[in-house]
Structure 1
């Protein structure tokens, strides 16, 4: 399976999508208009190792809700990601048994190499 979860209004996601082209056979899911399901999040967690690895501590709501001052559990991370799309570290690219999470240069480069060997 080849799938990418992204946010259409995010300029970083748009830049990465362009950088990874062509995206032949990759299904794109815009997480604001088509929220991720529990099953999809569980699959991402299985591949990434934890919900925390999928969680964006850069989200504006993270500080607004005072979450930076709390000790969060895996269940908290899961529920927060399901509650609001901005808590998902984006983009997330699933390529068969591999997962690429976030927009770090090394992650994007590794995704590019995996997509276009």
Structure 2
């Protein structure tokens, strides 16, 4: 499977997709218009090792809901990601048997290498 979960309204996601020159052979899912299913999230968790690795602690709602002050467990991370798309750390690329989570420079470079291309 070759898929990217992203947010079309996120400038960082748009920049990364452009830099990586993502072709139509990679399925794209805009998580704002097409919600993540529990099955999709479970698949990501299996590849990532935990829901926490998929959870964005820089999301505005994380501060608004004062989640930093709570002791969140794996089921909490799962629940929040399924309820609110902004809690998914993005973009998430699934390229065959590997998962790449987030927008760090190191992650984007690794995706580019996996795709066999060079960044624009």
TM-score normalized by structure 1?
0.97
The equivalent of 1:92 in structure 2 is: 92
CA distance, structure 1, for counterparts of residue 89 and residue 63 of structure 2: 15
- How far residue 77 of structure 1 moved from its aligned partner, in angstroms, is 0.1
The equivalent of 1:27 in structure 2 is: 27
Which is further off, 60-69 or 21-30? 21-30
Q: Give unmatched runs, 5+ long, in structure 2.
A: none
CA distance, structure 1, for counterparts of residue 62 and residue 68 of structure 2: 6
* SS of structure 2 residue aligned to 1:34: coil
The equivalent of 1:70 in structure 2 is: 70
CA distance, structure 1, for counterparts of residue 33 and residue 9 of structure 2: 11
For 1:38-117, what aligned pairs fall within 5 Å after superposition?
A: 38-116=38-116
CA distance, structure 2, for counterparts of residue 36 and residue 19 of structure 1: 24
The equivalent of 1:7 in structure 2 is: 7
- How far residue 15 of structure 1 moved from its aligned partner, in angstroms, is 0.3
CA distance, structure 2, for counterparts of residue 72 and residue 23 of structure 1: 37
CA distance, structure 1, for counterparts of residue 21 and residue 50 of structure 2: 28
CA distance, structure 1, for counterparts of residue 42 and residue 89 of structure 2: 15
Q: CA RMSD in A?
A: 0.9
TM-score normalized by structure 2?
0.95
- How far residue 23 of structure 1 moved from its aligned partner, in angstroms, is 2.3
- How far residue 24 of structure 1 moved from its aligned partner, in angstroms, is 4.3
- The structure 1 segments of at least 4 consecutive aligned residues displaced by more than 4 Å after TM superposition are none
CA distance, structure 1, for counterparts of residue 14 and residue 100 of structure 2: 16
